[in-house]
Chains A and B, each alone.
Chain A
Amino acid sequence: TPLTDREKKKVIRDMMMLVLARPPRSCNFLQWRDLKIVYKRWYASLYFCAGLEDKDNELLALEVLHRYVELLDKYFGNVCELDIIFNFEKAYFILDEFLMGGEILETSKLAVGVSMEEADTLQEEEKEQEEVGKTDKERFACGRGLRE
């Protein structure tokens, strides 16, 4: 069942409180309600958290977090926090090529990168066509563009 916006906000607040309160050299797991929380600190002020069910493998979750950061790194080239902030939608898109519904979708680093590239290309081509189309509209009164 989906959570209300208010509940979601509370979850985020709880996570922030819990994770930020952890002393520096603790283990990366903690218990919250009926979930196991796995968190990893990356770069000075960036934390990645995941909530696991009882049967999920915590050590593997650390690998999942690691893989996601690698994917970001590959895509943005030496990723930093600002990249994620200014390109949050891309971060989501990458996530959606890696995971779905809480499960791993693709285990190959390469494949995720390829999908992103091709999808981005599709976007680029679309934009180009639009630009081309616009210019033609301006030129020809009947407005028939070169759109295929």
Chain B
Amino acid sequence: MALPRMPAPIRLRELIRTIRTARTQAEEREMIQKECAAIRSSFREEDNTYRCRNVAKLLYMHMLGYPAHFGQLECLKLIASQKFTDKRIGYLGAMLLLDERQDVHLLMTNCIKNDLNHSTQYVQGLALCTLGCMGSSEMCRDLAGEVEKLLKTSNSYLRKKAALCAVHVIRKVPELMEMFLPATKNLLSEKNHGVLHTSVVLLTEMCERSPDMLAHFRKNEKLVPQLVRILKNLIMSGYSPEHDVSGISDPFLQVRILRLLRILGKGDDDSSEAMNDILAQVATNTETSKNVGNAILYETVLTIMDIKSESGLRVLAINILGRFLLNNDKNIRYVALTSLLKTVQTDHNAVQRHRSTIVDCLKDLDVSIKRRAMELSFALVNGNNIRGMMKELLYFLDSCDPEFKADCASGVFLAAEKYAPSKRWHIDTIMRVLTTAGSYVRDDSVPNLIQLITNSVEMHAYTVQRLYKALLDDISQQPLVQVASWCIGEYGDLLVSGQCEEEEPIQVTEDEVLDVLEGLLVSNLSTPVTRGYALTAIMKLSTRFTSVNRIKKVVSIYGSSIDVELQQRAVEYNALFKKYDHMRPALLERMPIMEKTASNGPTEIVQTNGEAEPSVVEAKHPPPVTQPTNQANDLLDLLGGNDVVPVIQTTVPTKPASAGGELLDLLGDLSLSGGPAPAPATSVPSSQPAFLLDGLTSPPLFNDIAAAGIPPMTAYNKNGLKIDFTFERANPNPNIAVITIHASNSTEADMTDFVFQAAVPKTFQLQLLSPSSNVVPTLNQGTVTQVIRVLNPQKQQLRMRIKLTYTHKGSAVQDLAEVNNFPPQSWQ
């Protein structure tokens, strides 16, 4: 007696039709739930006949976004079935529903193993496909042997699938790569394009992962000639209907071969030479009217640029990119910009030739193209084109979408710092950015800009005037307001006294200035940080203005401000007025020039001068934000892909000596690679500017200099302290003399806190690197070494004045000396 059977589950297509009639989400959900329930019961009945249909329906519902995990085991049952129909759906289900995070997937391994050896190639194909798409590491380990066997079969249908399956195995378990090596021996002698293509992919994967493999394929297998031959056949061969795409024979294979050639040729002269001709041929003969031809050209260009190609070929490649830039097809323009960005470092001049086209792309309507054009434009800015380029970029900044503004502003600042033709231009550019895109400027730009402004001493009056005028117009853009407040606080006296040389000085009274600053304090537009700036600025003006009483009043009001930061400041300033008034002038005096600490490296320290004055005024700046991950640095990273080469500014303003002390000129190497922002000005209000120490570029220079055979000399010898100078020439720049001092101590006590300082005449520039230590050990047991670099562009006679300070037997010793006995070779 037959048990009453459930009605046959509805067919897949019918279910799809039904679900599509649902008018609301809720209706659909209801249908799905009903069907899922039916499917679940059907699964429970272990019904073989309809399992396939049910799983298929489940997969459809899964695609719509509904949970289908209860079907996982059913997939496995389907895979284990003898029927091809079942396996087809079962394997598909496995690929869609299962992955290595479910333990269930391991149960597949045995089935796959069996199916890999099935008599029907389509079953084998299913197994290979599933393994190759989602096989876990364990599965790959277990089944790699089977895959390797199939890689050697003569059945091209299976061979191609085995090849890509092997690629997956290698990706999952790289150690297994070796075992596939023998099977690759004659892969490329196949005629079948499917096998050829997948073989090239496999070879590429192996070469990319293992330098040993790469070397092996280059030398032993002579891969390059084989690939060149295949490529040549593709190009020369006649029309082949099954592989043809718009007149080109198997572009997919061509591109893959070009890519493998790129890897083989990179860094290898012989390989690069062997492929030179074919690359030239492809580059010149490929049809460019359709996308497919351009795809091949694109890959060719990438290959030419990456290998050791001869210059003619490189120029050909860049010109192809240049033509791409003028193509009507947006995609091609985009791809050209991307490629040019990759090559701009290595072939800078060639890319420069296309600068005007690139700049035009800034006006493109397409967002992706605009972004690439912007990045590339910044990469092309140099000392020669800075004015023109900046005009275009500032125009872009005005009109671009907000998503670009932050990056563009940062880029403008960076470029301006590197290549500003004049201080005035620099300040004007900064002003332009602050006033047009002020709210998008990154927060860490504020300390950078302030530091820049302090360095341009002769522009202080002009700067503060312009900033003041900008404030009158608009106080909503916080970075602008912050920089302006700071400057007014510092240079308010210049503002009021109308000293501006660069432009018509404005007439403004102290009260007007204080009005503006107080306005900032009360405005709703000002952030707490801005208010802090404003309050400090007002306080500083108490030493620069005469209306001290007004300032006292303002400060005392904020002593009870709700904002804790403001309150603290106000209370401290109040205390200054009341109890420490005698200190106020010293504390609030003009800031010394802040040095930007050179980026990274343990060898750099900003060495302030010997006078051990306590760090009195901690400038109330917001804590320095490390710059690194900002977009400007990404820009620099994009350009190289390799380490960023810092730019050494060769024309640097020599800082005049401030009050008192020796002539101390500095080679201000403002290295601008992506490093941390300048440290806050722990301003020791010492009379002499600090030394800038640049460890970035110097050490390598020293290593590869042949000692120019300049004799060493004794520069100083007194009271047991002896200082010798040894010389080298800095290789890339013959005007730089590199001197190493060696300090030794012949007394019976150590010389501690040893500081060596040097000054040179105005036509020279000097840079002092960090000393090896500041203790000169007793009885000549060791030396302190320190490196000096002297730039002597006018080749004048080198003279130096040195100052030595140290502590010896408990007392401080200081001495000055002139060094005149430099050997002529050191400065000629």
Contacts and interface: CB of A to CB of B under 8 A. Distances in A.
A25 B164 contact: no
Interface string B369-396: 1000000000000000000000000000
State the main secondary structure of chain A at its contact with B. helix
B737 interface: no
A88 B302 CA distance: 37
A89 B56 contact: yes
B359 interface: no
A117 B197 CA distance: 22
B358 interface: no
B340 interface: no
Interface string A53-69: 00101111011100100
A95 B165 CA distance: 15
A100 B252 contact: no
A104 interface: yes
Given A2-B99, A27-B366, A107-B252, A123 B85 contact: yes
Contact of B331 (A28, A31, A108): A28
Contacts of A142: none
B146 interface: no
A66 to B, nearest CB: 8
Interface in B65-89: 65, 83-85, 88-89
Contacts of A23: 365
A100 B133 contact: yes
A4 B100 CA distance: 11
Contact of B197 (A58, A101, A107, A123): A107
Contacts of A25: 330, 365-366
Contacts of A146: none
B479 interface: no
Given A2-B100, A63-B292, A107 B92 contact: no
A26 B197 contact: no
A109 B243 CA distance: 7
Given A26-B368, A126-B85, A103 B63 contact: no
Contacts of B60: 88
Contacts of A29: 331, 334-335, 368
A108 B122 CA distance: 18
Query: Among the interface residues A85, A104, A118, which one has the most CB atoms of the partner chain B within 10 A?
Result: A104
Nearest to B330: A27
Contact of B167 (A64, A89, A101, A126): A101
Contacts of A109: 242
B134 interface: yes
B368 A31 contact: yes
B544 interface: no
B16 A85 contact: yes
A9 B63 CA distance: 10
A100 B84 contact: no
Nearest to B17: A86
A89 B92 CA distance: 8
Given A26-B368, A63-B295, A100 B101 contact: no
B164 A107 contact: no
B250 interface: yes
A104 B161 CA distance: 10
Nearest to A118: B122
B132 A27 contact: no
A119 interface: yes
Nearest to A62: B291
Interface residues of A, number: 45
B116 to A, nearest CB: 15
A27 B368 contact: yes
A39 to B, nearest CB: 11
A69 B100 CA distance: 31
A110 interface: yes
A29 B573 CA distance: 57
A57 B299 contact: yes
Contacts of B255: 57, 60
B367 interface: yes
Given A27-B330, A103-B198, A105-B161, A89 B89 contact: yes
Query: Among the interface residues B60, B122, B168, B365, which one has the most CB atoms of the partner chain A within 10 A?
Result: B122
A107 B253 contact: yes
B99 A110 contact: no
A111 B193 CA distance: 10
A86 B13 contact: yes
State the main secondary structure of chain B at its contact with A. helix
Nearest to B126: A96
Nearest to A115: B157
B462 interface: no
A27 B334 contact: yes
B523 to A, nearest CB: 37
A122 interface: yes
Nearest to A59: B295
A101 B330 contact: no
B89 A104 contact: no
B194 A105 contact: yes
Given A2-B100, A60-B299, A96 B129 contact: yes
Given A30-B368, A60-B252, A118-B122, A104 B197 contact: yes
A93 interface: yes
A106 interface: yes
A137 interface: no
Nearest to A113: B242
A86 B251 CA distance: 32
Contacts of A103: 164, 167, 198, 201
Contacts of B198: 103-105
Given A101-B164, A105-B194, A118-B122, A59 B332 contact: yes
Interface string B281-313: 000000000011011001100100000000000
A144 interface: no
Given A26-B367, A26-B368, A29-B368, A122 B193 contact: no
Query: Among the interface residues B120, B125, B197, B252, which one has the most CB atoms of the partner chain A within 10 A?
Result: B252
B729 interface: no
Contacts of A2: 99-101, 134
B562 to A, nearest CB: 42
Given A27-B334, A123-B85, A60 B65 contact: no
Query: Among the interface residues A2, A57, A64, A93, which one has the most CB atoms of the partner chain B within 10 A?
Result: A57
A92 interface: yes
A64 B252 CA distance: 8
Contacts of B299: 57, 60
B587 interface: no
Contacts of B132: 100-101
A63 B291 CA distance: 8
B59 interface: yes
Nearest to A61: B295
A41 interface: no
A97 B236 CA distance: 28
A11 to B, nearest CB: 13
B245 interface: yes
A127 interface: yes
B426 interface: no
B789 interface: no
B197 A57 contact: no
Interface string A108-148: 11110001001100110011000000000000000000000
B245 A27 contact: no
A88 B61 CA distance: 11
A92 B165 CA distance: 18
Given A26-B367, A28-B330, A29-B335, 20 more contacts: A2-B99, A23-B365, A30-B368, A62-B331, A67-B245, A67-B252, A85-B16, A86-B17, A89-B89, A100-B133, A100-B168, A101-B168, A105-B161, A107-B193, A107-B243, A111-B194, A118-B122, A122-B84, A122-B122, A127-B85
Going nearest first, the 9 A-B pairs with the smallest beta carbon separation are A59-B295, A27-B330, A2-B99, A110-B242, A106-B194, A100-B164, A60-B295, A108-B242, A107-B252
13 contacts: A29-B334, A55-B259, A57-B255, A59-B295, A63-B251, A86-B13, A89-B88, A103-B164, A106-B193, A107-B193, A108-B243, A118-B122, A119-B84
